[in-house]
Structure 1
Amino acid sequence: MTSTVPAIPAPGSLPASGGSGAPGLDTGMPPRTRTGQAHSRLAAVRARLELPVVRRASGLLDGRHRSIFSGHGQDFDEMAQYLVGDDIGDIDWKASASTGVPIIRRFERESNLAMVLAVDTGRSMAALAPSGEVKGAIAQFACDVIGYLARGRGDLLALVAGDAERTVQIPARGGTEHMEMLLQRINGMLALDGPPSNVTHVLDRVLTWFTRRSLVVVVTDEVRPPLESEQTIKRLRTRHELMVIQVADALPTDFGSQPVEDVESPLGLPEFFRARRDMAAEARDAVARRRSDVAAMLRRYNVPTVTVGSEAEVVDGLADLLARSRRARH
């Protein structure tokens, strides 16, 4: 299933990718630039974030790591009596039954854990969101926030980004310079003249490339991953912790008399066609069915998902996503 979500083209609103290039895998790094001369995405995102929300998201990420890696590399420290404020997920019920009081198992905190950004860079991400913002800009901001949180925690961050013709994979590393390079690489791939989306290919690459259990954050369109990805989603869910951030699409009927084009064709959608109530209702129903089908597939495998329609919704949406993901594990 391919995206046919219409949008008003916004030339220049996203940086040009320099063409789609030859099909295949790209593991090369961009030319190194001085940090002082390059635009700092991490500094920009820090200036925009509200600290209370960031702390909430970062704290939930701590909890996410504990539940992900329990039994997968954490060193056992001690048994201790449960105290108010301890995580109930750490309770050892067998030991609690034998002693008559709640007992928890404590582990040494593991640092430098791996996070993977799996980003859909197809041209449908250059369409418009309901807010009127370009979806690619919202997706980029979501990636910036994740990079900012990972850098602040000292975690390693890896990237798999791609579409129908390109795949970029960057190994997991830490540090500001690595984060900046990774985020700039995503920014350079999001463009209206990019190839069609193929997020299934991106997920397949994550599945084959990452053997270490990681937190995989998928950033894509609201009607993706497509149903054809179901087996890949199932396998990924058994190997990794998986979460999906979907960027919402604007409907073609949202723009009144303004010219509208479909980013996949691209073909103009005439106003008289969009103004007909029966056609507008049919378009809304078709999109709702696609959203429902994708949401049902992700629920089958307990994949937490959040849909954002603007940059303003990203941080709260990510914090909510982490909170629901953590509750689902307990």
Structure 2
Amino acid sequence: MASLLRRVKSKMSIFAHRKARGMLEGEYGSVFKGRSLDFDDLRAYVPGDEVRDIDWKATARHGSPLVRRYAAVRRQTLLLVTDTGRNMAAESRDGEEKKDIAVMAMGVVGYLAQRHGDAVGLVCGDTGGSRTIPAKAGEAHLERVLREVHDGASLAGEPSRIETQLEYVAQRFPQRLLLLVVADELLPGTETERLLRRLRAQHEILWLTVRDAELAGAAATGDSYDVAAPGQRSGQQSGLLPGRLAASPAVAAAYTRARDERDAARTSLLRRLGIAEADAGSSHDVVPAVFALLERHRRGR
């Protein structure tokens, strides 16, 4: 059985040279820095410091800007939260199974956590409930976590519902954690917002969206439609809708509008709550997406 973690490391080596990997690890290391940790002392503001770290009361007394410094906590717990319902066994925008992209994203962040000595745990599941693997350190443990996600998602499984896993985390994990939530193109509702508000008050949250396949195919992008040849993989140019539907400008426009509205609603909610988001449509996108995600989180966007 091929090692999933070895595949993750291979992708990281291909898409991130030594300098980039160092920057990626630096971004991960900064996730908790200066956020709800133990106060250490004050020092003079220097250009490049985060404005939100300025202690305005102390600044007023002192007469020049002062920023708060915090004692760095060297060990954290990363909790990977993902959907293993049948949605994640469907195709992504690039034609891969979405679960492969999810495994790659969790593998990259999990590997960074291991390099920092952090423990990694997992919560996954579907509408039927959630499964958990307690947080531990070590590459063998991370391989087990990735294998649980990879083998747990199938087209024969229960429907997807990431809110089930978010509710599980809210009820079972009171200690402060770093959460990496990996889900598909969620359309958030009132329950989603309730759960994320509750979790955001307790935890640091990163959100990575796995992009769905373009169901309308070429028609959605304005290209001419060509009926798939026998044996052609669905999701390549011709799209996943039957020929006449995919070729219909009205269907393509409705599909595109629904997708854009879903994206806008999700992005708006996450921004309001101060949760950084990135997306990936293929495993090739994962390393740059993770870098962007960590950087957005550090900047408080």
Shorter-chain TM-score category?
0.7 to 0.9
Give 3-state SS (helix, strand or coil) of 2:158's partner.
Answer: coil
Is 2:113 aligned against 1:143? no
Q: CA deviation at 1:183?
A: 1.4
Question: What is the aligned counterpart of 2:245 among 273, 283, 293?
Answer: 273
Question: Equivalents in 2 of 1:161, 1:290: separation in Å?
Answer: 23
1:104-143 → structure 2 map (5 Å cutoff): 104-143=67-106
Q: Relative to 1, partners in 2 of residues 1:152 and 1:224: Cα closer, same or farther, differing over 3 Å? A: farther
Output the aligned Cα RMSD.
2.6
Q: CA deviation at 1:101?
A: 4.9
Q: CA deviation at 1:80?
A: 4.3
Is 2:27 aligned against 1:60? yes
Identify the residue that residue 130 of structure 2 maps to in structure 1: 167
Q: CA deviation at 1:166?
A: 4.0
Question: Equivalents in 1 of 2:60, 2:5: separation in Å?
Answer: 48
Measured against aligned partners, the alpha-carbon deviations of 1:293-325 in whole angstroms (never above 9, x if no partner) come to 222222222222112111111111111111111
Measured against aligned partners, the alpha-carbon deviations of 1:112-161 in whole angstroms (never above 9, x if no partner) come to 21111110111111222222222211111101101111101111212110
Identify the residue that residue 166 of structure 2 maps to in structure 1: 203
Q: Unaligned 5+ residue runs, structure 2?
A: 219-225
2:179–2:205 Cα contact (<8 Å) kept: yes
Identify the residue that residue 194 of structure 1 maps to in structure 2: 157
Q: Relative to 1, partners in 2 of residues 1:149 and 1:121: Cα closer, same or farther, differing over 3 Å? A: same
Question: Equivalents in 1 of 2:122, 2:9: separation in Å?
Answer: 21
Identify the residue that residue 186 of structure 2 maps to in structure 1: 223
Identify the residue that residue 302 of structure 1 maps to in structure 2: 274
Give 3-state SS (helix, strand or coil) of 1:196's partner.
Answer: coil
Measured against aligned partners, the alpha-carbon deviations of 1:258-279 in whole angstroms (never above 9, x if no partner) come to 38989xxxxx843222222212
Q: CA deviation at 1:188?
A: 1.2
Give 3-state SS (helix, strand or coil) of 2:34's partner.
Answer: helix
Q: CA deviation at 1:104?
A: 4.3
Question: Equivalents in 1 of 2:123, 2:169: separation in Å?
Answer: 7
Q: Unaligned 5+ residue runs, structure 1?
A: 1-37, 263-267
Give 3-state SS (helix, strand or coil) of 2:73's partner.
Answer: coil
Identify the residue that residue 289 of structure 1 maps to in structure 2: 261
Give 3-state SS (helix, strand or coil) of 1:324's partner.
Answer: helix
Q: Relative to 1, partners in 2 of residues 1:156 and 1:251: Cα closer, same or farther, differing over 3 Å? A: same
Question: Equivalents in 2 of 1:63, 1:88: separation in Å?
Answer: 16
Question: Equivalents in 2 of 1:219, 1:326: separation in Å?
Answer: 19
Identify the residue that residue 313 of structure 1 maps to in structure 2: 285
Is 2:205 aligned against 1:245? no
2:187–2:265 Cα contact (<8 Å) kept: no
| Identity value in percent | 34
Question: Equivalents in 1 of 2:10, 2:214: separation in Å?
Answer: 32
Identify the residue that residue 22 of structure 1 maps to in structure 2: none
Question: Equivalents in 1 of 2:233, 2:249: separation in Å?
Answer: 17
Q: Relative to 1, partners in 2 of residues 1:270 and 1:78: Cα closer, same or farther, differing over 3 Å? A: closer
Q: CA deviation at 1:66?
A: 1.2
TM-score by length of 1: 0.76
Give 3-state SS (helix, strand or coil) of 2:123's partner.
Answer: strand
**Which is bigger in relative contact order (C-alpha 8 A, separation at least 6)?**
1
Q: Relative to 1, partners in 2 of residues 1:285 and 1:101: Cα closer, same or farther, differing over 3 Å? A: closer
Q: Relative to 1, partners in 2 of residues 1:94 and 1:44: Cα closer, same or farther, differing over 3 Å? A: same
Q: Relative to 1, partners in 2 of residues 1:106 and 1:328: Cα closer, same or farther, differing over 3 Å? A: closer
Question: Equivalents in 2 of 1:100, 1:291: separation in Å?
Answer: 45
Q: Which amino acid aligns with 2:35?
A: I
Higher deviation after alignment, 299-308 or 137-146: 299-308
Give 3-state SS (helix, strand or coil) of 1:249's partner.
Answer: coil
Q: Which amino acid aligns with 1:65?
A: F
Identify the residue that residue 155 of structure 1 maps to in structure 2: 118
Question: Equivalents in 2 of 1:253, 1:261: separation in Å?
Answer: 11
TM-score by length of 2: 0.83
Identify the residue that residue 18 of structure 1 maps to in structure 2: none
Give 3-state SS (helix, strand or coil) of 1:154's partner.
Answer: coil
Give 3-state SS (helix, strand or coil) of 1:213's partner.
Answer: coil
